[in-house]
A and B are shown apart, each in its own frame.
Chain A
Amino acid sequence: MSTAPNMVVGQSRVARWAFNGSVIVLCLWVLVPIYLLIANALSAPSEVTQFPKKMVPSFDTESVEFFLYFNGVGKALWSSVQVAFLTMVMSILIGAPAGYSLSRFDFRGKNAFRILVLMTRAFPLPLLALPMAIMFIRVGLDDTVFGLALVHTTLALPFAVLITFSLFSGIPIELEEAAWTLGCNRLQAFFKVIFPLVLPGITASAIFAFVVSWNEVFAAAVLTIEHRTLPAFLLQSLDVAPLHLKFAGGAVLVVPALIFIFFVRKYLFAMWGIANR
Chain B
Amino acid sequence: MQSRALPYLLLLPATLFLLLFFLYPFVLVAWQAFATDEGVLTTKYFDKMISHWKFEKALTYTLLLALVVVPIQVALSLLMATLVASMKKGRDIILYIWTIPLGISDLAAGLIWLAIFEQTGFLNSILFSTGIIDEPMTFLGYQDKGMIFLAVVLAEVWRATAIMLVILVAGIGLIPKEYYEAAQVYGANTWQRFTKITLPLLKPSLQTALILRVILAFEVFAVVAALGGTNLPVLMGEVYNRQFELQDSHTAAAFAMLILLISIISTVFFMWTLRTPKEASL
Contacts and interface: CB of A to CB of B under 8 A. Distances in A.
Interface of A: 1-7, 19, 22-23, 26-27, 29-31, 33-34, 36-37, 40, 48-53, 55, 93-95, 97-98, 100-102, 104-105, 107, 109-110, 113, 116-117, 119-135, 150-151, 153-154, 157, 161, 185-186, 211, 214-218, 221-222, 231, 234-235, 238-239, 243, 246-247, 249-250, 253-254, 257-258, 260-262, 265, 268-273, 275-277
A34 B158 CA distance: 11
B10 A100 contact: yes
Given A133-B249, A268-B99, 6 more contacts: A97-B13, A131-B28, A215-B106, A261-B100, A269-B169, A273-B174
Interface residues of B, number: 107
A216 B18 contact: no
Contact of A36 (B1, B83, B116, B180): B116
Interface string B236-257: 1001100110000100110010
B180 to A, nearest CB: 4
A226 to B, nearest CB: 14
Contact of B22 (A40, A120, A257, A261): A120
Given A2-B85, A7-B86, A135-B25, A269 B221 contact: no
A127 B218 CA distance: 11
B21 A268 contact: no
A216 B180 CA distance: 41
A127 B259 contact: yes
B67 interface: no
Given A7-B190, A131-B29, A131-B32, A235 B111 contact: no
Nearest to A243: B118
B216 to A, nearest CB: 8
- Best-buried of A95, A221, A268 by chain B (most CB within 10 Å): A268
Contacts of B263: 122-124
A131 B253 CA distance: 8
Nearest to A127: B256
Nearest to A52: B125
Given A235-B225, A238-B226, A154 B22 contact: yes
Nearest to B227: A238
A239 B86 CA distance: 46
B175 interface: yes
Contact of B177 (A2, A19, A94): A2
B140 interface: no
Interface of B: 1, 3, 6-8, 10-11, 13-15, 17-18, 21-26, 28-29, 32, 79-80, 82-83, 85-88, 92, 94-108, 111-116, 118-122, 124-126, 128-129, 136, 158, 163, 166-167, 169-177, 180-181, 184, 190, 193, 204-205, 208, 211-212, 215, 218-219, 221-222, 225-226, 229, 236, 239-240, 243-244, 249, 252-253, 256, 259-260, 263-264, 267
A150 B190 CA distance: 49
Q: Which 5 A-B pairs have the closest CB atoms?
A: A215-B105, A273-B170, A250-B111, A261-B103, A4-B85
A123 B128 contact: no
A37 B115 contact: yes
Nearest to B223: A217
A131 B129 contact: no
Contacts of B1: 185-186
A214 to B, nearest CB: 7
Nearest to B270: A122
B94 A27 contact: yes
Contacts of B219: 124, 126-127, 218
A134 B98 contact: no
Nearest to B250: A130
A217 B105 contact: yes
Contacts of B129: 52
Given A33-B113, A130-B249, A273-B170, A105 B7 contact: yes
A265 B96 contact: yes
A124 B14 contact: no
A175 to B, nearest CB: 17
B206 to A, nearest CB: 10
B34 to A, nearest CB: 13
Contacts of B99: 261, 265, 268
Contacts of A186: 1, 6
21 contacts: A4-B82, A22-B83, A26-B83, A51-B124, A98-B15, A105-B6, A117-B18, A121-B212, A123-B22, A124-B260, A127-B260, A130-B256, A131-B29, A134-B28, A134-B249, A215-B106, A222-B243, A246-B226, A250-B111, A272-B170, A277-B204
